[in-house]
Amino acid sequence: MRLKHPAKDPLDRPTTGKHHAVMIKHNLTIIYRNILKRKGTFLINLLGLSMGLSCAFIIFLWVYDELHVDKFHSNENRIFQVMENLRRPEGIVTTSNTPALLAETIAAELPEVVAAMTSTPKDFFPKFTFSYKGRNVKAAGKFADANHFEIFSYPLTRGNSKNVLTNKNSIVISEKLADNLFGSTIDVVGQKIEWKLPGLARQSLVSGVFKDIPGNSTDQFDFVIPFLNFREIMGMPQTMDSLGPFNTYVVLREGVSQETFNQKIAGFIRGKFRNANVTLFVRKYSDQYLHGSYENGVQAGGRMEYVVLFSVVAAFILLIACINFMNLSTATASVKWKEVGVKKAVGAGRKSLVIQYLSESVAMSFLALFLAILFTGLIIPSFNSLTGKQLDIGATEPVVFLVLVGITLFTGLLAGSYPAFYLSGFNPVRILKGTVQTSVSELWMRKGLVVFQFSLSIVFIISVLVIYEQIRFIQYKNLGFDRDNILQFETEGRVAEHPDQFIASLKGIRGVENVTGLMGSFITTYQGMGGELSWKGKKVAVQSLGVQYDFVETMGMQMKDGRSFKRDLNDENFKIILNEAAVKALGLNDPVGKQLVSAGPGVQIIGVVKDFNSQSLRSEVKPMSFRIDPTISTIMVKIEGKEQANVLAEIQELYKNYNPGFVLDYKFMDTDYQHLYESENRIFVLSGYFAGLAILISCLGLLGLASFTAEKRKKEIGIRKVLGASVSKIAGLLSRDFLILVAVAFIVAAPAAYFLMSKWLGGFAYKVNIPLGIFILVAFLVALLTLATVGFQAVKAALMNPVRSLKSE
């Protein structure tokens, strides 16, 4: 008997609202019955999709926050920072260090500029010490021009943004600093406070209070003092200075393009001072966070690379979860064959079947959404602690929830698309006759999806292990100095006024090996003011560090040539010590005793230290010089390791007695070193979580496929057992196919992982070679996980009573 189909599917015709309601109810009933029939498959799909969605949600919240850093300023699209490209023998060096008078000159001479301002750079100073009625508070801040609060949108709760910085003796403080110093934010305007830096003490009148800086601002500070005050302190001349370390910001008029302005400003600085190798350009202020890296004068990456990286990771993990859904749906299609055949026989068209199965996958996706939101809420506190963010899924903007719903809907449609079109394409006659067989293309498709998802998982695992090896290399690399057991703290109070006396007292403590001091910080990402040294007409940019006696000895550096600074000599002020990189850059032979030309008086080289890495290993060692500086902002104490606890207690007691009213705020140098690699450490931890999640979701899918395969081959297993096959042989038979797929996945993933990790390691000047052992280890681990996942089902099937399995058939 031949089945006839209506010319038109009655379910595909236009329907009324009542018919829609009936169809929706009908589809929901079918979805509910299918869940009850296949609880195992349902739970695997639900868990996989919810974990994938949770990962995507967390990464999306992080990406959304990253993309909105510094975007809160009202003139955000028109605020630009002036940058310098310096042409050096080694290439073009890009820096944000600009002359002090550049902002004033630009505002006067360029009509495209609405406003311009100068400020001291971030981390240029150690923390200031503020005193009010016997209370001492430390805070970080900057000097800035009078229009600072008009250009940048930092709301004032006290004072007027137009005039809070017009008086050079004024100061604007944050609500946090006001609370710490005065115990209140009310009635603080007009109060006189004293602030100190090493070798400097001033008084200022509070003229305003601003709200605490939001977390999505790159510029974090607690006070602003007029730049006029700084110029007076430093006795700065009214001339352009090419070596100025200051930051310059401009607000462009509406309609002025960045490209056009860059063409005009490029040669602006030439002719205004002696250095003609400087080219100016502007970058959008809000781009500094994500696009802050430059190579040879060209923008080359930054944090945006991590935004893209983790966005891709989220997409891949979600894709792995979708592949599980596709695989399990197509693998269990035989269960739905009769349902499809009957529906098609009574007139259902392909469109209505596609809608039904897509509805089923979308419903699954939205069920997973609720579980994903629960997972996300539980994970976010730990994620915030790891990344330093303040993400809150309950306090996000409506657009975020719309995107999350959109991701969920897209996931449901993607996961259900292939099963829906696959199932709806069956021939009803062949279904009802029982002649439908799994096609070769379907098997290859399913195997290809398994290979794809395991390839991604293997790439993640290899990447995590390579990142771990690089971080381990960073931890144990010989830096050219000893960073262990060195205590450091900033000077303040009597310690800042009489550092030599305090250092002498510290040296008298048993367990203290040596003590020294310096101006600034030793381990830092900040390049400082820098300087320039010249030998026979060859000029080299050199980072100059002002240090105290015993610095080389305390840091455990090795002298390659000459001597260190000696306290008993009285003529060390115009002597310098160079590192090997500086000697090489200057082209010096037998450098000790040579007289070099500097920006000030000439200097004589008395020694050369072996190269050391005080900055990130992403950069090669830069030319550096040491000079004696009478001003100390940081004291460094080398302690015997086994005596650390006792020595620390004695130092705290000495500090308390010597510096009443102040609390010793110390840290160890190796902590500073770790801060240089916060991004790398975060990437390692996050990548580890993502890799674990990817392999877990993949194994869940493998578990479902193995379970279905064992069920499908029940009869074959029963016959083999009757014929004498052992449990191990049957388990091996069922596991073999999956192991082959995972092996193929490894062959595909290994070269891809090697390429990606080689590119990532290319960002380091000093890096580890990717060990072959990592690939062997990953191959072993993935094979073990596959055997553990599939083997459980295989052994379970092999242990089944063959009589029962043959009876059921």
3-state SS string over 780-798?
HHHHHHHHHHHHHHHHHHH
**Helical axes 772-798 vs 714-722, angle rounded to 10°:** 80
Residue 5 pLDDT: 47
Residue 732 pLDDT: 72
CA 101 to chain centre: 35
CA–CA distance, 260 with 466 (Å, rounded to integer):
44
Q: Is the pLDDT of residue 804 over 60?
A: no
Q: Is the pLDDT of residue 20 over 60?
A: no
CA–CA distance, 739 with 619 (Å, rounded to integer):
43
Residue 347 pLDDT: 55
CA–CA distance, 501 with 494 (Å, rounded to integer):
10
Instruction: Give the residues across from 535 on adjacent strands.
Output: 538
Under a CB-based contact definition with an 8 Å cutoff, are residues 348 and 355 in contact?
Answer: no
Q: Is the pLDDT of residue 41 over 70?
A: no
Rounded to the nearest 10°, the torsion over CA 608, 614, 618, 620 is -10
Reported as a single tens digit per residue, the pLDDT across 710-742 is: 666 666 666 766 666 666 676 677 778 788 888
Mean pLDDT of the 751-761 span: 91
The end-to-end CA distance of the chain, in Å, is: 28
CA–CA distance, 799 with 805 (Å, rounded to integer):
11
Residue bearing tokens 């976010």: 380
376 Cβ contact list (under 8 Å, min separation 6): 54, 57, 58, 393
| Average pLDDT of the residues of the chain | 81
**Helical axes 398-424 vs 350-387, angle rounded to 10°:** 140
Mean pLDDT of the 203-224 span: 94
Residue 23 pLDDT: 56
Q: Is the pLDDT of residue 14 over 70?
A: no
Pairing of strands 634-639, 531-535: unpaired
Residue 622 pLDDT: 87
Phi, psi of 63 (to 5 degrees): -65, -45
- For the ranges 13-27, 183-197, 240-254, 435-449, the one whose mean pLDDT is highest: 183-197
Reported as a single tens digit per residue, the pLDDT across 251-299 is: 999 999 999 999 999 888 876 665 557 889 999 999 998 888 888 778 8
Reported as a single tens digit per residue, the pLDDT across 133-186 is: 888 899 999 999 999 999 999 999 999 999 999 999 999 999 999 999 999 888
DSSP for 394-427?
A: GG--HHHHHHHHHHHHHHHHHHHHHHHHHHHT--
Reported as a single tens digit per residue, the pLDDT across 400-445 is: 778 788 888 887 777 667 666 665 555 555 544 554 455 555 566 7
Q: Is the pLDDT of residue 525 over 70?
A: no
**pLDDT-based confidence at residue 792 (cuts at 50, 70, 90):** low
**Helical axes 350-387 vs 17-37, angle rounded to 10°:** 70
Under a CB-based contact definition with an 8 Å cutoff, are residues 619 and 763 in contact?
Answer: no
How far, CA to CA in Å, does 177 sit from each of 132, 180, 209?
A: 12, 5, 9
Reported as a single tens digit per residue, the pLDDT across 545-577 is: 889 999 999 999 999 999 999 988 777 888 999
Pairing of strands 142-144, 223-226: parallel
Reported as a single tens digit per residue, the pLDDT across 594-619 is: 888 876 677 899 999 999 988 888 88
Rounded to the nearest 10°, the torsion over CA 713, 717, 723, 725 is 130
Under a CB-based contact definition with an 8 Å cutoff, are residues 611 and 581 in contact?
Answer: yes
DSSP for 34-61?
A: HHHHTHHHHHHHHHHHHHHHHHHHHHHH
CA–CA distance, 633 with 503 (Å, rounded to integer):
13
Percent of the chain clearing pLDDT 70 (strictly above)? 78
Residue 740 pLDDT: 87
Residue 430 pLDDT: 52
Instruction: Give the residues across from 193 on adjacent strands.
Output: 204
CA–CA distance, 236 with 570 (Å, rounded to integer):
29
How would you class 450 by CB atoms within 10 Å of its CB: exposed for 0-12, middle for 13-18, buried for 19 or more? buried
Q: Which of 530, 385, 432, 459 is nearest to 691 (CA)?
A: 459
Host H or E run for residue 663:
none
605 Cβ contact list (under 8 Å, min separation 6): 562, 575, 576, 577, 578, 588, 591, 592, 593, 594, 596
Q: Which of 282, 161, 179, 307 is nearest to 224 (CA)?
A: 161
3-state class (DSSP) for residue 578: strand
The pTM for the full model equals: 0.78
Q: How many CB atoms lie within 10 A of CB 715?
A: 13
* 645-646-652 Cα angle (round to 5): 90
How would you class 313 by CB atoms within 10 Å of its CB: exposed for 0-12, middle for 13-18, buried for 19 or more? buried
Q: Is the pLDDT of residue 101 over 70?
A: yes
Phi, psi of 638 (to 5 degrees): -90, 120
Two structure tokens written together for 221: 């500070």
Residue 1 pLDDT: 41
Phi, psi of 616 (to 5 degrees): -60, 145
Residue 271 pLDDT: 65
How far, CA to CA in Å, does 524 sit from each of 123, 520, 582?
A: 9, 9, 19
Reported as a single tens digit per residue, the pLDDT across 380-404 is: 888 888 888 888 776 666 777 787 8
Q: How many CB atoms lie within 10 A of CB 202?
A: 16
Residue 141 pLDDT: 94
CA–CA distance, 136 with 662 (Å, rounded to integer):
7
**pLDDT-based confidence at residue 10 (cuts at 50, 70, 90):** very low
Q: Which of 33, 35, 27 is nearest to 11 (CA)?
A: 27
Between 396 and 311, residue with greater pLDDT? 311
Dihedral of alpha carbons 627, 629, 633, 639, sign: positive
